[in-house]
A and B are shown apart, each in its own frame.
Chain A
Amino acid sequence: MSDSARPRPLDRNGVSSAEREARAATRAWVAGAATRLGVTEATVRKWIRVGRLNPSCDEVYGNIFPYLDRELSAEERAEVERHIAACPGCEDHFAFDGVVLRFVRQRAPRGLMPSALQERLLGPFRGRAAPDA
Chain B
Amino acid sequence: MPTSISPAATAGDAFTAEVAPHVHTLYRTALRMTQQEQAAEDLLQDTLERAFLNFSRYEPGTNIRAWLLRIMSNVRISGFRRVARRPQTSSLDEMEEFSIYGAAHADGIATADVESSVLNRIGEEAILKAIDRLPEDFRMVVVLADVEGFSYKEMATILDVPIGTVTSRLFRGRQQLQRALWEHARDAGILASASAGRSRSA
Binding site for B on A (CB under 8 A): 32, 35-39, 62, 64-66, 69, 71, 92-93, 96-97, 99-101, 103-105, 107-113, 117-118, 120-122, 125-131, 133
| Contact assessment for A107 and B124 in the assembled complex, using a CB-CB cutoff below 8 Å | yes
Total interface residues on B, using CB and 8 Å? 59
CB distance from A94 to the nearest CB of B (A): 10
The segment from B6-14, B60-68, B76-84, B194-202 found at the interface with A is B6-14
Pick the contact of A35: B12, B19, B20, B98 (CB < 8 A). Answer: B98
| Contact assessment for A108 and B11 in the assembled complex, using a CB-CB cutoff below 8 Å | no
B61-113 with Cβ < 8 A to chain A: 96-107, 111
| Contact assessment for B106 and A38 in the assembled complex, using a CB-CB cutoff below 8 Å | yes
Q: Does B160 contact A (CB under 8 A)?
A: no
Given contacts A38-B102, A110-B28, contact A126 B16 (CB under 8 A): yes
Given contacts A37-B101, A38-B105, A121-B23, contact A66 B152 (CB under 8 A): yes
| Contact assessment for B12 and A125 in the assembled complex, using a CB-CB cutoff below 8 Å | yes
9 residue pairs bridging A and B, Cβ less than 8 Å apart = A37-B101, A101-B146, A103-B115, A110-B28, A112-B24, A113-B23, A122-B19, A125-B52, A129-B11
A-B contact number at CB 8 A: 139
Given A108-B127, A118-B20, A128-B11, list of 5 further CB < 8 A pairs?
A65-B170, A66-B152, A108-B146, A117-B44, A125-B15
| Contact assessment for B13 and A126 in the assembled complex, using a CB-CB cutoff below 8 Å | yes
User: Chain A residues with Cβ under 8 A from B20's Cβ?
Assistant: 118, 122
CB distance from A9 to the nearest CB of B (A): 34
Pick the contact of B10: A66, A107, A128 (CB < 8 A). Answer: A128
Q: Is the interface of A mostly helix, strand, loop or mixed?
A: helix
| Contact assessment for B119 and A122 in the assembled complex, using a CB-CB cutoff below 8 Å | no
Most buried by B among A66, A110, A117, A122: A122
| Contact assessment for A111 and B52 in the assembled complex, using a CB-CB cutoff below 8 Å | no
Pick the contact of A36: B12, B99, B170 (CB < 8 A). Answer: B99
| Contact assessment for B124 and A108 in the assembled complex, using a CB-CB cutoff below 8 Å | yes
CB distance from B55 to the nearest CB of A (A): 8
User: Chain A residues with Cβ under 8 A from B26's Cβ?
Assistant: 113
B123-156 with Cβ < 8 A to chain A: 124-125, 127-128, 131, 145-147, 149, 151-152
CB distance from A85 to the nearest CB of B (A): 19
Residue of B nearest to A131 (CB): B53
User: Complex Cα distance A99/B118, Å?
Assistant: 12
Q: Closest 10 CB pairs between A and B?
A: A128-B12, A38-B105, A130-B11, A38-B106, A113-B27, A38-B102, A125-B12, A109-B124, A36-B102, A103-B119
| Contact assessment for B101 and A108 in the assembled complex, using a CB-CB cutoff below 8 Å | no
Pick the contact of A71: B7, B41, B151 (CB < 8 A). Answer: B151
User: Chain A residues with Cβ under 8 A from B3's Cβ?
Assistant: none
User: Chain B residues with Cβ under 8 A from A130's Cβ?
Assistant: 10-11, 55-56
User: Chain A residues with Cβ under 8 A from B174's Cβ?
Assistant: 65, 101
